[in-house]
Amino acid sequence: MEKTIDIHNYDKQLVSTLERMKSSKISDKNKEIIEKFVPIIFGAIYIVMIIIAIKT
Protein backbone atom coordinates (compact mmCIF):
# COMPACT_ATOMS: atom_id res chain seq x y z
CA MET A 1 0.00 0.00 0.00
CA GLU A 2 1.28 3.44 -0.94
CA LYS A 3 1.87 5.91 1.87
CA THR A 4 -0.35 8.98 1.62
CA ILE A 5 0.64 12.50 2.57
CA ASP A 6 -1.73 14.59 4.66
CA ILE A 7 -1.38 17.92 2.86
CA HIS A 8 -4.13 19.44 5.00
CA ASN A 9 -2.49 18.59 8.35
CA TYR A 10 -5.71 17.23 9.81
CA ASP A 11 -3.95 16.02 12.98
CA LYS A 12 -2.64 19.50 13.75
CA GLN A 13 -5.95 21.11 12.81
CA LEU A 14 -7.82 18.81 15.17
CA VAL A 15 -5.47 19.53 18.08
CA SER A 16 -5.66 23.27 17.41
CA THR A 17 -9.45 23.20 17.21
CA LEU A 18 -9.75 21.28 20.47
CA GLU A 19 -7.43 23.71 22.23
CA ARG A 20 -9.50 26.67 21.02
CA MET A 21 -12.70 24.92 22.03
CA LYS A 22 -11.41 24.29 25.57
CA SER A 23 -10.65 27.98 26.07
CA SER A 24 -13.91 29.16 24.50
CA LYS A 25 -17.10 30.32 26.20
CA ILE A 26 -18.92 27.11 25.24
CA SER A 27 -20.62 25.52 28.24
CA ASP A 28 -18.76 22.72 30.00
CA LYS A 29 -21.55 20.30 29.11
CA ASN A 30 -21.23 21.10 25.39
CA LYS A 31 -17.44 20.80 25.58
CA GLU A 32 -17.87 17.35 27.11
CA ILE A 33 -20.24 16.30 24.31
CA ILE A 34 -17.86 17.60 21.63
CA GLU A 35 -14.88 15.78 23.18
CA LYS A 36 -16.83 12.50 23.13
CA PHE A 37 -17.79 13.02 19.48
CA VAL A 38 -14.27 13.80 18.20
CA PRO A 39 -12.95 10.18 18.19
CA ILE A 40 -15.93 9.11 16.07
CA ILE A 41 -15.22 11.78 13.44
CA PHE A 42 -11.46 11.26 13.55
CA GLY A 43 -11.87 7.50 13.16
CA ALA A 44 -14.20 7.95 10.21
CA ILE A 45 -11.71 10.21 8.44
CA TYR A 46 -8.96 7.58 8.74
CA ILE A 47 -11.24 4.81 7.51
CA VAL A 48 -12.03 6.84 4.39
CA MET A 49 -8.31 7.56 3.85
CA ILE A 50 -7.51 3.84 4.12
CA ILE A 51 -10.25 2.93 1.63
CA ILE A 52 -8.99 5.53 -0.83
CA ALA A 53 -5.42 4.26 -0.43
CA ILE A 54 -6.50 0.68 -1.04
CA LYS A 55 -8.38 1.62 -4.21
CA THR A 56 -5.45 3.52 -5.72
Q: Is residue 31 part of a domain?
A: yes
User: What's the gap between Cα 15 and its chain centre?
Assistant: 8
Q: Is residue 1 part of a domain?
A: no
Q: Is residue 19 part of a domain?
A: no
Q: Is residue 5 part of a domain?
A: no
Give Cα separations from 53 to 5, 19, 47 (angstroms).
Answer: 11, 30, 10
Task: Residue 37: give the domain boundaries.
Answer: 27-56
Q: Is residue 9 part of a domain?
A: no
Tens digits of residue pLDDT in 3-50: 666 667 777 887 888 889 889 999 999 998 888 887 787 777 777 777
pLDDT (0 to 100) of residue 41: 76
Answer for the pair 10, 38: CB distance below 8 angstroms, yes or no.
no
Domain count, the chain: 1
First-last CA distance in the chain: 9
